[in-house]
Structure 1
């Protein structure tokens, strides 16, 4: 795993700049075949690291596959996710990471094979995530503040999303 550290700026933990090689070295649950076909986010060279708590992106070449990279125990861990087939397009759905209510077809169940021996035995963890994996942007959307709201509530939303992402990735990394 790459030695990528996170630094604290403002309310939350931010990723330090990293290269594509460091990103691909940080995958914990990917097979050699998955790594061979994995693609970095199309805008990776433009990532604003000072405002990045985690990376999440759909694979541009393989429908139904996505990736998340987040800090776990002082180092970046990246995971491969698979999107479950089906789902309801009728009822609103709730993303468990950014806690955003979306139309039903914009939230999907994603699962990730656990790292290490547990993953080799078929154990996985799943959660409902925005289908386009835009949680990072969803919590930053500039919505007008109500008279009783203040900027800190937006910062807390960002930090809580980043914490939930790290906790989800940690479930994949750790053999608990």
Structure 2
């Protein structure tokens, strides 16, 4: 992912007003992020922990969405993140819901998906799994996971922007 400035981040949001985008908190440590190891930028709002933000690179430049989650239900079962699809998650996955962009969102239309609670997907897809068999191409496997994350995050973004 290419480095983003605070201005690029704030101007990327599809499903909130410009005024709301101007007031949203930026990710902590923005100037120290390892952009080469990020496939999207995601963070939680420190003032409102049920709110999160994700900025996804697209062919048309970065596009951001505001998402929200319900209070944790605590079913006791581990869910699969729809973006990174990591089956060895050490942390919870929650349902994040985004208001659709434009008139549909103003009318109350939303779309949701299961994503890692603190947006750790980029780190998850880069974890090297145990070697399944001799000759397994680990680098190709990790690259496939990274590309899958990028496709699925862009797909969710497209469903918000419809």
Q: Tell me the TM-score normalised to structure 2 length.
A: 0.87
- Aligned-residue offset at 1:37: 3.8
Offset, 1:48: 2.6
The match for 1:80 is: 66
1:90-118 alpha-carbon deviations (Å, 9 max, x no partner):
11211111112347x71111100011111
Pairing 1:109–2:95 present: yes
1:27-176 paired onto structure 2 within 5 Å: 27-32=13-18, 34-101=20-87, 102=89, 106-148=92-134, 149-150=136-137, 151-173=139-161, 175=162
Distance 1:160 1:33, change over 3 A: same
CA deviations over 1:16-70 (Å, ceiling 9, x no partner) = 2221111111111113563244111112112233333211111222111111111
Structure 2 equivalent of residue 4 of structure 1: none
Gaps of at least 5 residues in structure 1 are 1-14
Maintained 8 Å contact 1:57/1:134: no
| Aligned-residue offset at 1:165 | 0.5
Contact 1:70–1:165 (CA<8 Å) still a contact in 2?
yes
**TM-score normalized by the length of structure 1:** 0.81
Greater share of strand:
1
Does the Cα contact within 8 Å between 2:2 and 2:36 map onto a contact in 1? yes
What residue ranges of structure 2 are gaps of 5+ in the alignment? none
The RMSD of aligned alpha carbons is 2.0
Q: Number of aligned residue pairs: give it.
A: 159
Task: Give the ranges of 4+ consecutive aligned residues of structure 1 lying more than 6 Å apart after TM superposition.
Answer: none
- CA 1:86–1:17 in 2, change beyond 3 Å: closer, same or farther? closer
